[in-house]
Amino acid sequence: MTAIAVTIAGSDSGGGAGIQADLKTFSANGVYGASVLAALTAQNTLGVTGIHDVPPDFVKAQMDAVYSDLKVTATKIGMLSRTEIIETVADGLQRHETGAVVLDPVMVAASGDPLLADTAVDCLMSVLMPLADLITPNLHEAARMLGCDPAQTEEGMLAQAHSLMERGAKGVLLKGGHGNGAESSDLFLGSDGTALWLREQRIVTENTHGTGCTLSSAIAAGLAKGDTMESAIRSAKTYIHAAIAAADTLDVGAGHGPVHHFYRLWSK
């Protein structure tokens, strides 16, 4: 059976993040990708110049079309900028067979441009987060969700991951890529309370556009193929590390360029 994953997210006209990054990641990891577009962005490697939200009823229509026909085994959720769209997606998740759900609470672009309205954060946490099998916030997103400062230590990361679980998350992958030090350390806190640290050497590059989208989509791809959550996360961490390491082999744009989703396939 063909493994199928769906991404529900915003579009990146520059091709490095959002729906475009998700579909590239699904394909690079051997999974057929379908999509539900929740927003359009006018965006490139230098920043976001505009956001156009898709009407909630059309988000619903896309979800109904995709899930009524395709046998989906995993769903990744990315940028949802408005409360009405978050509620529409949550309703669709409850009406359809979606497979495992990975929620990447996208709030700010790599350029620093905001992508999620302040009024929508509480809705994301109360309505959508409990429906996800895993959430994948970075340090700044977790802090915004909890109304506190970003964690500065591994002890702080563990405390914030537990706080997110207490507020309804079933599993948390707290990403440490925005931290300091020679290693980039991510923390996975599972539903049974087991904490797992995933560490890789930090790569010095400006080309990190779409890393969060890519990591969460790689996890969804693993889950779509039937991997356990831990196995999917480990494989995704290896994939994103290599995609970042190969990012400088691409020459895309004048700002924060994309990671190399197809580093395994393209000739060097």
Among candidate residues 75, 88, 136, 211, the one labeled active-site is 211
Q: Report d(CA 170, CA 190) in Å as an integer.
A: 7
Distance CA 9, CA 18 (A): 6
213 is catalytic: yes
The tally of domains found in the chain comes to: 1
| Residue 146: inside a domain | yes
**Would residue 261 count as lying in a domain?**
no
Weakest-pLDDT range from 63-67, 103-107, 250-254, 260-264: 103-107
Among candidate residues 176, 208, 222, 237, the one labeled active-site is 208
Domain contains 201: yes
Prediction pTM value: 0.96
Token pair of 129, please?
Answer: 């987060």
114, pLDDT greater than 90: no
Can you give the CATH number for the domain in which 41 is found?
A: 3.40.1190.20
The one catalytic residue among 78, 123, 136, 213: 213
**Catalytic residue list contains 208:** yes
Q: From the candidates 16, 99, 210, 222, which is the catalytic residue?
A: 210
CA distance 164 to 137: 10
**Catalytic option among 16, 176, 212, 222:** 212
pLDDT at residue 268 above 90?
no
181 in any annotated domain: yes
- Cα(17)–Cα(20) distance, integer angstroms: 6
Active site residue 16: no
Task: Read off the pLDDT of residues 173-185 as tens digits, 9 standing for 90 and up.
Answer: 999 976 666 788 9
Q: What is the pLDDT of residue 103?
A: 98
211 tagged catalytic = yes
DSSP string, 128-149: IGGG-SEE--BHHHHHHHHTSP
pLDDT digits (tens, 9 = 90+) for 116-125: 777 889 999 9
Q: What is the pLDDT of residues 213-236, one digit of tens each?
A: 999 999 999 999 999 999 999 999
Is 214 catalytic? The answer is no
Q: Is 92 a catalytic residue?
A: no
User: Is residue 258 one of the residues assigned to a domain?
Assistant: no
Per residue in 123-153, pLDDT (tens digit) is 999 999 999 999 999 999 999 999 999 999 9
- Is residue 238 assigned to a domain? yes
The residue range of the domain holding 190 is 4-249
CA-nearest of 34, 38, 90 to 65 is 34
Residue 32 burial (CB < 10 Å; 0-12/13-18/19+)? Answer: middle
Q: Is residue 164 part of a domain?
A: yes
Instruction: Write down the mean pLDDT value for the chain.
Output: 94
Q: How far apart are CA 190 and CA 167, in angstroms?
A: 14
Whether residue 266 is contained in a domain is answered as no
